[in-house]
């Protein structure tokens, strides 16, 4: 966790490292920091891999729902639906 935190100060972390940082932060109880990092992962994935971004949106939805924030959780679920709907439209 600390190594990712230090590395992220010098330059933006690659998506995979940012994902690992979010997971480590979650496991250590740094929930807000974990959520911020996971949201950055989502943003990166929307540009590169919409299906993976939809999965990340579902993970974020679950995290918010577990914390009892239904509205934010539903917002993340809606993002996932929109991404998947866009992916279906682009299929041949």
CB 8 within 8 A of CB 25: no
Dihedral sign, Cα of residue 21, residue 26, residue 32, residue 34? positive
- Collect all residues with Cβ–Cβ distance below 8 Å to 65 and sequence separation of at least 6: 73
CA distance 82 to 33: 26
Q: Based on the structure, what is the number of domains in the chain?
A: 1
Give the predicted TM-score (pTM) of the model: 0.83
Q: Is the pLDDT of residue 74 over 90?
A: yes
Residue written as token pair 């439209």: 89
pLDDT at 90: 59
Question: What is residue 9's predicted lDDT score, i.e. its pLDDT?
Answer: 84
Residue pLDDT, tens place only, 17-71: 999 999 999 999 999 999 999 999 999 999 999 999 999 999 999 999 999 999 9
Q: Which domain holds residue 72?
A: 2-89
CATH code: domain of residue 32: 1.25.40.10
Which band of pLDDT confidence, cut at 50, 70 and 90, is reported for residue 88?
Answer: low
């Amino acid at each position: 966790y600390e190594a990712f935190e230090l590395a992220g100060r010098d330059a933006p972390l690659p998506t995979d490292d940012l994902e690992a940082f979010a997971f480590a932060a979650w496991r250590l109880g740094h929930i807000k920091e974990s959520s911020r990092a996971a949201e950055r992962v989502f943003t990166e994935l929307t540009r590169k891999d919409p299906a993976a971004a939809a999965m990340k949106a579902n993970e974020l939805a679950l995290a918010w729902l577990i914390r009892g924030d239904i509205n934010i959780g539903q917002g993340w679920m809606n993002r996932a639906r929109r991404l998947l709907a866009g992916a279906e439209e682009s299929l041949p």
